[in-house]
Amino acid sequence: MNEIKPLPHIAVMKPYVPGGKLHGQSGPAVMLASNENPFGPSPAAIEAARSVAGDVHIYPDPDYRELREAIAAAKGIADASRIATAAGSDEIIHLLTQCYAGPGDEVLFTEHAFSMYRVSASAHGAAPVTAPETDMTAGVNAILGAVTPRTKILFLANPNNPTGTMLPLEDLKALQDALPPHVLFVVDGAYSEYLGPDYEAALSDLVDRRGNTVMMRTFSKIYGLAALRLGWAYMPAEIAGIWQRIRGPFNVNALAAAAGIAAIRDDAFLARSREHNADWRALMTDRLNAMGLNVPVSHANFVLPDFGSPGRAAAAHQFLKDQGILVRAIGGYGLPSKLRITVGSAGDNERLLSALAAFTASR
Ligand SMILES: Cc1ncc(COP(=O)(O)O)c(C=O)c1O
């Protein structure tokens, strides 16, 4: 018997629950559980990853200069030295928490926030604290009311996953201005591309407005590179300096870096993905509402029908699964009567909608 024990806060923490895969299914599976791009990656990104595959015996450029400059150029950011890249935005959440919060500190997020904020706070020994939401949105006052002298980081996904709701820009600015100086404000723009370039630029502007804000982004959603694990953040120079101390020197793999450069330059692919999402999100919202499933307005690439009770949502989840359709149960987010459904390809969306029409007609 050995006596190897994890740190006490690690011993009690709960792991992240991913969207999952359908195993042992006959026929094509419809995967609408993880907010992936139904078009897949940009063909230019696949080609770029292929073109470096023969060189994977060589370490990547530890500065990721070309990648950071491509991101800066595509997103209108003047200073690429304040862009950091990472193995998915999950790594950004972890690294920022590692830098700024530990035992005795609090990490704040909203009641139904993306669950990695809690996982990361717990993993670093900080206390996760939630601000209450009304109608699945936490207002500025509710968030400020949950700030204490121990709060070190406020994570806010805007739009949020899994609710699809968001605060208007004016509220983000009000929040940013009112936060006490010891709180780092991290705005998670994982779904910001679905709102368009003006909104994306406005998030970058938030970082420039004050020294207390980091904006983080991912290549996993609209850019369709989830499996490559690539995220980026735009931050004040001082925080970028701290980041450089603790990140792994090669934290982004060379295939991801090459694919990311090509993906972020492919404006046509981005626009096509955004339009498809807006069209189908509206259509799915209407048709699910017509089934009585009460879908709130979503600003992201998923919708959130309400089945009226946890039991009916669980039955719908299983009914869909039995037909090879995987959507996300979100009881773990405190929303057990709802299911989160990614906007997929036209064919997959139709399959989902007809399956749910059959479900709602029978129970
Ligand atoms: C709001 C939000 N932030 C961050 C992530 C993490 O993305 P990734 O680690 O794939 O970049 C997700 C993924 O679902 C998300 O919904």
Establish if 171 belongs to a structural domain. Answer: yes
pLDDT of 282: 98
Please tell me whether residues 215 and 73 are part of one structural domain. yes
Establish if 323 belongs to a structural domain. Answer: yes
Please tell me whether residues 240 and 169 are part of one structural domain. yes
Please tell me whether residues 54 and 187 are part of one structural domain. yes
Rounded Cα–Cα distance for residues 271 and 249 (Å): 33
- Please report the atom of ligand 1 found closest to the CA of residue 157: 1
Please tell me whether residues 194 and 159 are part of one structural domain. yes
In this structure, the residue with its CA closest to atom 16 of ligand 1 is 161
- Please report the atom of ligand 1 found closest to the CA of residue 230: 11
Domain limit, last residue, from 232, 266, 300: 266
Rounded Cα–Cα distance for residues 36 and 42 (Å): 13
Q: What is the pTM of this model?
A: 0.96
Ligand 1: centre distance to CA 177 (Å): 26
Ligand 1: centre distance to CA 161 (Å): 8
Residues with CB under 6 A from ligand 1: 35, 88-90, 114, 157, 161, 188, 190, 218, 220, 226, 231
The CATH number of whichever domain residue 201 belongs to comes to 3.40.640.10
pLDDT of 24: 61
Ligand 1: centre distance to CA 290 (Å): 30
Establish if 3 belongs to a structural domain. Answer: no
- Please report the atom of ligand 1 found closest to the CA of residue 162: 16
Q: Which domain holds residue 56?
A: 43-266
- Please report the atom of ligand 1 found closest to the CA of residue 219: 11
Ligand 1: centre distance to CA 76 (Å): 22
**How many CB atoms within 10 Å of residue 320?**
22
Rounded Cα–Cα distance for residues 316 and 230 (Å): 33
What is the tally of structural domains in the chain? 2
Ligand 1: centre distance to CA 88 (Å): 7
> For the chain, which ranges sit under pLDDT 70?
23-28
pLDDT of 16: 81
In this structure, the residue with its CA closest to atom 12 of ligand 1 is 190
Greatest extent of the chain over all pairs of C-alpha atoms, in Å: 61
pLDDT of 66: 98
**How many CB atoms within 10 Å of residue 271?**
13
Please tell me whether residues 278 and 236 are part of one structural domain. no
Q: Kindly report, residue by residue over 228-283, the tens digit of the pLDDT.
A: 999 999 999 999 999 999 999 999 999 999 999 999 999 999 999 999 999 999 99
Please tell me whether residues 293 and 324 are part of one structural domain. yes
pLDDT of 119: 96
In this structure, the residue with its CA closest to atom 7 of ligand 1 is 89
Ligand 1: centre distance to CA 118 (Å): 13
Please tell me whether residues 21 and 74 are part of one structural domain. no
